[in-house]
């Protein structure tokens, strides 16, 4: 699988493994299966409520039940850290081109261009035998874009400035990065609030990266840059220092 080096918020390059095509395809199929099961259950529910089994007319309730389908990818990626159920199963995730967590607008752009990259409407077009010739090139737009771009980005990724990476880290390590902080906790470095959300996302990614390569000098470079920027002197090693910063940030940002 290809590896990309991203420039983080501290001008440090961190390596990420770009998701392979088959993983993204399988994630897409899993998500389609989830949506199919949801629609099948909804159809059973509406049929049971209406008592009509044949040639029933679609009404307002059907419209409401379709809203989660339309917003499926947007809501899951927005509220589950860049992962739909399919992505979670395949252990891939959406991040920004700088290694951080995408913004709402970036998730929105990816969602808006999904109909081009993954033409699910093809099934409906074939079902109703409506197939305009000028729509044919759209079938391959996402695939061609994925093949030709260095970081395997689809159209939505290019416009949103995002990539999809492999998450070869254990969930318990991620939980140690963003941990629950007790109410009686005393922050060690209050100046951490001078860092932006993007900076904190970078710290998180660097710690996850260090899990795979604990001796990589990038960890110490990031810690040193933060200590210089915040004018901090500490005897803690790089990992402990960055974890304390994250804990301080979690505690102070919720006050």
Please say whether the beta carbons of 154 and 144 come within 8 A: no
Please say whether the beta carbons of 192 and 231 come within 8 A: no
DSSP run (H or E) holding 31: helix 21-50
pLDDT in tens, 159-190: 999 999 888 643 433 443 445 667 778 888 88
Q: Looking at residue 59, what is its pLDDT?
A: 63
Q: What is the pTM of this model?
A: 0.62
Beta-strand pair 13-17/92-96:
unpaired
Tokens 């998730």: give the residue. 107
Q: Looking at residue 174, what is its pLDDT?
A: 44
* Closest to 219 in 3D by CA, of 2, 3, 13, 1: 13
Minimum mean pLDDT range among 121-135, 201-215, 228-242: 121-135
* Closest to 223 in 3D by CA, of 208, 243, 241: 241
pLDDT band at 122 (very low <50, low <70, confident <90, very high): low
The answer for residues whose C-beta is within 8 angstroms of residue 171's C-beta and 6 or more apart is none
Tokens 């029933």: give the residue. 56
pLDDT in tens, 34-43: 988 998 888 8
pLDDT in tens, 81-104: 889 999 999 999 998 887 777 889
């Amino acid at each position: 699988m290809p590896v990309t080096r991203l420039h983080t918020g501290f001008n440090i390059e961190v390596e990420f493994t770009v998701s392979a095509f088959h993983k993204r395809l399988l994630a897409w199929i899993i998500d389609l299966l989830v949506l199919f099961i949801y629609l099948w259950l909804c159809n059973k529910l509406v049929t049971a409520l209406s008592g009509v089994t044949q040639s029933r007319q679609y009404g307002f309730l059907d419209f409401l039940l379709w809203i989660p389908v339309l917003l499926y990818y947007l809501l899951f990626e927005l509220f589950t850290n860049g992962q739909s159920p399919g992505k979670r199963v395949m252990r891939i995730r959406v991040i920004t081109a700088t290694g951080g967590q995408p913004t709402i607008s970036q998730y929105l752009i990816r969602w808006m261009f999904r109909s081009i990259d993954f033409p699910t409407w093809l099934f409906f077009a074939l079902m109703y035998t409506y197939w305009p010739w000028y729509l044919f090139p759209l079938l391959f737009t996402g695939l061609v874009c994925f093949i030709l771009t260095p970081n395997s980005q689809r159209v939505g990724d290019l416009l949103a400035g995002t990539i999809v990476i492999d998450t070869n880290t254990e969930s318990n390590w991620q939980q140690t990065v963003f941990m629950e902080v007790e109410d009686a906790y005393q922050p060690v470095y209050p100046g951490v609030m001078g860092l932006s959300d993007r900076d904190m996302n970078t710290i998180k990614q660097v710690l996850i990266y260090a899990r795979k390569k604990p001796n990589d000098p990038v960890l110490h470079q990031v810690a040193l840059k933060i200590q210089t920027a915040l004018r901090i002197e500490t005897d803690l090693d790089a990992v402990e220092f960055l974890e304390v910063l994250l804990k301080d940030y979690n505690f102070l940002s919720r006050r």
